[in-house]
Amino acid sequence: MLKQLSLETYYMKTFIPALKFEKLTGFYDKIMHLTMPEKAFKNALIEQARIKSGDHILDFGCGTLTLSLMMKQQCLEAFITGIDVDEKVLTIAENKRTDSGFEIRLDKYDGKFLPYSDETFDKVVSSLVFHHLTTVQKKQAIREIYRILKPDGEIHIADWGKPSNLLMEALFFFLRLFDGFENTSVNWKGELLNYLTGNGFKYTIECKKYDTLFGTLRLLKARK
């Protein structure tokens, strides 16, 4: 039973790999390239973040490091840190970092507390992570992100949101079957911005949306 589990065990037991099944992790980049407008929405997320020279940026749930590498390519003078809970995906990220020659820090996330001091980062970016998290994990992650952001720091999120039409709702239904209805309910209802506001963030807005093969992807922004 859940009550008998330690908090750490609970977080690790509810951890979902990027494509749900660990055996598919190695194919993540290829599947994203074939099925999603990945370059378009990640470039839009980077443009939205307005990364400047000297900025300290955290890629929350960095996955295979695609977004981190794109940010570094666009602003060489920014300090990029990627963090993820999945050891297998971090191995892929490490190989991509080595091949790129870029200096990007990589850290392991325990699913509870970000291993950084208060007010460390100027901005946090996150792509297709929050729909994997349970309601408890979403709130915990947002609180931790708020803590490690500097005053007036920003969070920029690309993730599934409320379907924009019936077709998007039908497509998102299948993704919800895949990732779990409890985990994706906040996204499906369009409540992620409310979660940010409810945990201290202000000026929460939606900046852009994309209708995709899996539902409506929305780009969100909030400030500490």
Take residue 106 and report the two structure tokens written for it.
Answer: 């990589």
CA atoms within 13 A on the CB side of 191: 12
Determine the pLDDT at residue 30: 57
CA dist list (Å): 25 to 30, 90, 127, 221 = 10, 10, 16, 28
Rounded to an integer, the average pLDDT of 174-186 is 85
Q: pLDDT tens digits, residue range 89-114?
A: 899 999 999 999 999 999 999 989 99
> Tokens 């940026």 label which residue?
57
The answer to whether residues 66 and 60 touch, using CB atoms and an 8 Å cutoff, is no
Please report, for the chain, the start and end positions of each structural domain, with discontinuous segments joined by +.
2-158
Helix or strand (DSSP H, E) at 84: strand 79-84
If one compares 132 and 145, the residue with the highest pLDDT of the two is 145
**Do 133 and 111 meet the contact criterion of CB atoms below 8 Å apart?**
no
Would the pLDDT of 154 be above 50?
yes
What does the pLDDT read at residue 158? 97
pTM, two decimals, is 0.85
Confidence at residue 26, expressed as pLDDT on a 0 to 100 scale: 47
- Dihedral, CA of residue 114, residue 117, residue 122 and residue 128, to nearest 10: 0
Residue 65 near residue 83, CB atoms below 8 Å = no
Integer Cα distance of 213 and 219 in angstroms: 17
Q: At what angle do helices 135-148 and 181-188 cross, to 10 degrees?
A: 60
Sheet holding 79-84, edge to edge: 105-108, 79-84, 56-60, 121-127, 149-160, 215-223, 202-212
Q: How many CA atoms lie within 13 A of 196 on its CB side?
A: 23
Is residue 12 pLDDT above 70, yes or no? no
Q: Does pLDDT of 16 surpass 60? A: no
CATH architecture of 2-158: 3-Layer(aba) Sandwich (3.40)
The 10s digit of each residue's pLDDT in 53-71 is 999 999 999 999 999 999 9
